[in-house]
Structure 1
Amino acid sequence: MAVADALGRMRARDAAHTEVGERLAWAGFYNRARPKQTVRAHQKEPCMPESARAAAAPVGVADSSKVVKAYRLKFTGTGAEYFRVWFVNMLLMVLTLGIYTPWARKRTVEYFFGHSVLARSPLEFTAETRRMVIGFFVFLGLYSLFKQATNSQNALLVGLALLAAAVSVPFLWGSARRFRVTATRWRGLRLRFGTSWKEIYWASWPVFVIALVWFCVYAGIDMRHTFTSPSLLEETRPKTFLGLTVIDWILVALGLVVSWLCFVRVMFNYQRLTIERTYIGVEQGVFRGTYGDFVRIWLGATLIAVLGFATVVTGASLLLAEQLPSRFGWDEQVEAAVEQAAAEEDEFSQARRQLYEKMQEQLERSPQSVDWETFRVEMQAIEEARQQKCREPGQSQQPYCQSAAGWWTEGEADPAEAETDEAALEAGGADFVLIALIVLSWLPMLLVFEIAHAYREAKQHRLVWNLSGVSDIARFRCKLSVGGYVWLRLQNWLLTVITLGFFRPFARVREYRARWTSTTVHIRGGASRLQNLLTIQQEGGAFADAVADFAGFDIVS
């Protein structure tokens, strides 16, 4: 009797521990999943067919379905192994002028999937190479047509190209996502991307907004320049950086802000659609992230990039400001000479401007009465006066003496040319320093963008996996360190630059391992029970899988 009581107390204690463990493992995810509901013990598990549940949980072991088991994801690949795959891919892509790209991508995906282990079983990639080749050439054709249309500088063609791109992006993304998901297997179980084209295009509405915004920006700038452009003989309108006025840059800035918000929105929509419309058996993915979560992550990465870029540009400008005066002789001793040269250059400009105005008046009265020979002689006289001034001692290095001779000089050499060449040879060392500063300033910029990209990737990876699950039978837990991942990406970037790109395969393996192994899968009932359940559920889904296979092409993923 005492033994029976002891066994009863042990069973009760084990049951209590199991219930507590279950609640602890699932409360964090499903409390956010259902913030306004209370999960009660008597509620049935949703999204779990009774027939499949009964087959997967025989009599006598039903309580085992409540046990939550954790499986840490593992990656068994190495950089040396992948280097051989990468090197052969690069060699064949070079020899075939890029035609080998689909085969190279398949070999790469097969390598990473084959070494990505969940519950002692690797993933499988079962894609057909033929569809990857078709998708590759379809993408190349669409991209070439888009480039030709945008380079035509025709507002109508540009608008049509933007519209075509907006229509094509959802199709390309949906086709590639369906192909990649349906080609993935685990223990013989295949995934299924069960969404419709209507749902994909509805989630892609920010793409159309981006296309509309930039068409309006392009058309607005083009119309402003068309209606405000002066005649050919008048002074050109004042411009700022890259030939755009202040109003033009305001339009561009507004377009960038709207495009940034829409881009983040479409990334969120696609991420949510990928998870929530991915099925394994009849179990559906669950994603509890919000658009605000994505905005905060992308905003942080954007601020890092913008502030870092501004810092690098400011530092490079200060260094160049120190080099330019010594290079061209613009120091305190010649400031007065520079001002005098600028004033004299104004005199030459005024004289030429008067000739242009006189020529304009003659053209307006009678084009046949224009005396082009007199115009050439007068312009040549102004040029000779400039050259005479440059022959004076100490004047050859002044800015107005560095300008090239006009067409009216009939190819006559500038007397200051010999002195200019000699000074340029003497300043060769300074030129080298100047060029080195300009080139090296790009490396910090690339480094800043790498930091911003690594930050965004780590934060988004951790957010997505911590808020994702499979129905109510599995959830994920990611512990990826943002700082550690950023530092890893910086190391990989520096080593890739130092080795001229040959460290890239090792870097890719290190980054993939850091992301993959930081995730743990919590499965209700364990992996074996999940496999048995999903195998039964998948028997009736062969037709849907065949349709998904037919519809998917690997195009942009």
Structure 2
Amino acid sequence: MSLAGSPHSAGQAGGFHRITFTGKASEYFGIWIVNVLLTIITLGIYSAWAKVRRNRYFYGNTVLLGRSFEYHAKGLQILIGRLIVLGAFIALNVIATLVPVLVLLPTIVVLIALPWLVAKGLRFSARVTSYRNVRFDFVGGAGGAFKAFILGSLLAVITLGILTPLASRWVARYVGSNLRYGGKAFDTDPGLGPLYKAWLLSAAIIVAGLLVVGAVVAVNFDTIAAMMDPAAGQGTFSVWHLVILFAYVGIFVLFGVAGLFYRAAVRNITWSATTFDGQHRLLSDVSLTRYAWIAISNVVVTLLTFGLMRPWAAVRMARYTWEHTGITFTGDVGELFSKIEEQGSAVGSEFMDFEGFDFGF
């Protein structure tokens, strides 16, 4: 679905303009159910085409200044890319099985190839996305991907999450600052201060929740210990079994809420620290609590309906996040996009249609 621009869109003045999302759950349900059934029938082969249909619907209903984005990938492109990666992985494991001394070969090759695959995937996803008939591009290399995704994740893990904001900054700068549109560059440079404020909020939520659980366990330690003793009351059920069960569920939800708060905050910080062509500034102002509520309630409703409400959940989240995203244009918008569209055809002719390494963008 593609929305044509309004007659006056070319002459729109600068200033702040929000993105809107026009998709409907009832429309997307028809696409989604066909995708699911055909993916099952074809033993997963159709999933490449399913992704294309899904993205075309969501991109085509994401609208800025009266014009929608477009997704140009083809199912065969994505399928070929997936088969290449799958075939290489199978071959490596066969070699490792036949030659035991090479047992670590698959892991080593994956670690070496992963940054390259990530960079290729980001480039593919950018190049099959367009706005006003002008495609995006991504110019990041494997070295930057290694730092942002491999080294950053490793540092976050070994420091028990303390360096997570640094890793988030590396990812944001790598993705945002290597993005191009019509030959013009984006630039993203979120500050560590705001990222650490977001991280501290999430950490505080986790610590507070664990303290409450710990206090409940400490106060009732003797009762819980007796219940857990296999020699006493074996096979009996008490309210404390429910307490322990809810404690486990509560901890799981706690980490989920903290993660969602951090994710929403990072989105706000990263988008709001991004400029296009050095002067047009992006903005994200999603509410942390509202974002977490939508994400959690989406999961609950989807589970309770055995997946049938998944289209509603996807549309609901897309509408909320995109409608809390915008850009402040400097100067005349029509003149800006006229210049970009003039350059766009030359840039677009250089895009390769065969690359199909799609790992998300």
What TM-score does the superposition give when structure 2 sets the normalisation length? 0.79
- Relative to structure 1, the CA distance from residue 147 to residue 156 in structure 2 (aligned partners, 3 Å threshold; closer, same or farther) is closer
Question: Residue type of the partner of 2:137?
Answer: R
Question: For residues 5-24 of structure 1, what are the structure 2 equivalents within 5 Å?
Answer: none
1:130-177 deviations in whole A, cap 9, x for unaligned?
A: 2211222344446667889999xx99734x444323212211211111
Unpaired runs of at least 5, structure 2:
1-10
Higher helix share: 1
> Are 1:69 and 2:52 matched, yes or no?
no
**CA pair 440-108 structure 1, distance change in 2 beyond 3 A:** farther
SS of equivalent residue, structure 1 residue 497: helix
- Say whether residues 1:85 and 2:31 are aligned partners: yes
* AA at the equivalent of 1:77: G
Cα separation, 2, equivalents of 1:516 and 1:84 = 22
Match of 2:185 among 269, 284, 299: 284
d(CA) in 2 for partners of 1:476, 1:320: 52
CA distance in 1, matches of 2:212, 2:91: 38
Residues 1:182 and 2:106 aligned together = no
Q: Calculate the aligned-residue CA RMSD, in Å.
A: 3.9
| Aligned residue type for 1:117 | V
The partner residue of 2:74 within 115, 120, 128 is: 128
2:118 aligns with 173
The one-letter code matched in structure 2 to 1:205 is K
- Note the C-alpha offset of 1:435: 7.1
- Percent pairwise identity: 23
- Per the TM alignment, residue 533 of structure 1 is displaced from its structure 2 partner at its CA by 1.1
2:64 aligns with: 118
SS of residue in 1 equivalent to 2:30: helix
Distance 1:537 1:326, change over 3 A: closer
The one-letter amino acid of 2:271's match is W
Amino acid at match of 2:120: S
In structure 2, C-alpha distance between the alignment counterparts of 1:460 and 1:85, rounded to whole Å: 31
Q: Given that residues 172 and 190 in structure 2 are in contact (C-alpha distance below 8 angstroms), is that contact kept between their aligned partners in structure 1?
A: no
Aligned residues: 350
Q: Deviation per CA, 1:421-463, whole angstroms, max 9, x where unpaired? A: xx97xx4xx2597876666554323322321222122101111
- Give the 3 Å change call, closer, same or farther, for CA 86–315 of structure 1 in structure 2: farther
1:512 to 298, 318, 334: 318
Identify which of 162, 171, 176 aligns with 1:270. 171
Question: Closer, same or farther in 2 for the Cα pair 1:454/1:540, shift >3 Å?
Answer: same
Partners of 2:119 and 2:23 in 1: CA distance: 30
2:255 is aligned to 449
**In structure 2, what is the equivalent of residue 201 of structure 1?**
143
75, 90, 101: which is aligned to 2:47? Answer: 101
TM-score, normalization by structure 1 = 0.54
Shift of 1:323: 6.2
Query: Cα distance 1:207–1:112, how it changes in 2: closer, same or farther (>3 A)?
Result: closer
Kept in 2, the 8 Å contact 1:139–1:556? The answer is no
Q: Does 1:554 align with 2:347?
A: no
Q: Secondary structure at the match of 1:109?
A: helix
CA distance in 2, matches of 1:202, 1:75: 32
Give unmatched runs, 5+ long, in structure 1.
1-63, 214-253, 332-422
1:484 aligned onto 2:294: no
1:466-503: CA deviation from partner (whole Å, max 9, x where unpaired): 11121135222222111222222232233233333333
Q: Please say if residues 287 and 467 of structure 1, whose CA atoms lie closer than 8 Å, have aligned partners that are also in contact.
A: yes
Distance 1:481 1:434, change over 3 A: closer
SS of alignment partner, residue 480 of structure 1: coil
Q: Distance in 2 between matches of 1:294 and 1:209?
A: 18
Which structure is larger by alpha-carbon Rg, 1 or 2? 1
Aligned-pair distance for 1:113?
0.4
1: CA distance between counterparts of 2:348 and 2:230? 79
SS in 2 for 1:554: coil
Matched to 2:124, the amino acid is: F
Deviation of 1:206 (Å): 6.1
